[in-house]
Structure 1
Amino acid sequence: MPLNYVPVDNGPKGAETNCYNYLGDNPDPNVDLPSLSDEEQFYGTANSSSWPLLNFLFLCAIDFRVLLTSTSEVYGDPLEHPQTEEYWRNVNPIGVRSCYGEGKRVAETLMFDYHRQHGIEIKIARIFNTYGLRMNIDDGRVVSNFLAQAIRGEHLTVQAPGTQTRSFCYVSDMVSKLLYLSND
């Protein structure tokens, strides 16, 4: 299916040298939102989520389909594994990384509020760990840490106690599933 898209990203996780088939010059996260009102879909994949999403949802109150990528961090430090959609979470709202998880929780809440109040079509995908070509080797996540250590010939570091579990998805698989979810 041919797609036209407008990139809106400040690019905090990647490096421009890792991008290919780059569209346009330096995508501006402060894009003129009314100019996007003719689009049919919006993929909310921003790192910080509350204000940009609220601006887009304001536009969406007309007739817009929105897919929000959320995060496993909305679950906090879960007391059960695996988590179900009904799991109410175990969250520290003032922890070191709380801003990210709280921002995504706010985004999910705003999405459902706009769905209930305005009837917009919403989809939310809680992404856990995506990896792939052109990822930033120094982003501090487990796959990139393992790769960086292996490249340097170091032992792979597993944080104590070593009983953690993770779900991983290759980036091209993630993109195809997000497109499927949005158009299902």
Structure 2
Amino acid sequence: MTEPQQYRLRPFEVEAMRWQPDQSDAAAHLLGWLTSHDVAYDVNEKSGDLVLHSSARIAQPGWWVIRRADGWTFTLTPEDFDQAYAPIAPPAADPDKPCDHVAFAGQFDINRITATDGGPVTAYSADIRITCETCGEQFRWIGAPAGLSPARPTVSVDETVLHAPIRPASSDPDFGLGIPGFAIRFTEGDAR
């Protein structure tokens, strides 16, 4: 071959986490991730820099730590990371190939309910959603009526959100029961 040929860089997938030493949970997760892959490191307590021994690379706060499939671990600035990498979306649910649903994500929102804007809290409610992390499919809640109630759990009309009334353990048993709610009743048969 006497003429040059054109080649395309093959795309490859990496794992990456952002180094955020000011957020203790995020920092602990990243350091645990490095330790689980036998990546030696040091943290400069004064500057917050993370030093990776294997690649002699430094991650300043806010930089990304990237691990390739072959185990090579390196760092990039946020700007370089954003130019080189894009998040991989979870695959859409395929009804012809059911997912085993082995990994889950939960979203929990706590609502503080008041009788008037800016008034005292008279009730609390937890809204809970569950999704399969593998395929992204939402789970539906079974057995609870659709609507909102201060006295019992209910679900959204599409059954993907559980509305559960809650109260502080130290409160009276009737805490929150004076709040109005609504229910949706589904009936089968002729609509007349």
Class of the TM-score when normalised by the shorter of the 2 chains: under 0.3
* Bigger fraction of residues in strand: 2
Report the TM-score, using the length of structure 1 for normalisation. 0.22
Higher helix fraction (1 or 2): 1
- Which protein shows a greater Rg? 2
Higher relative contact order (CA 8 A, sep 6+): 1
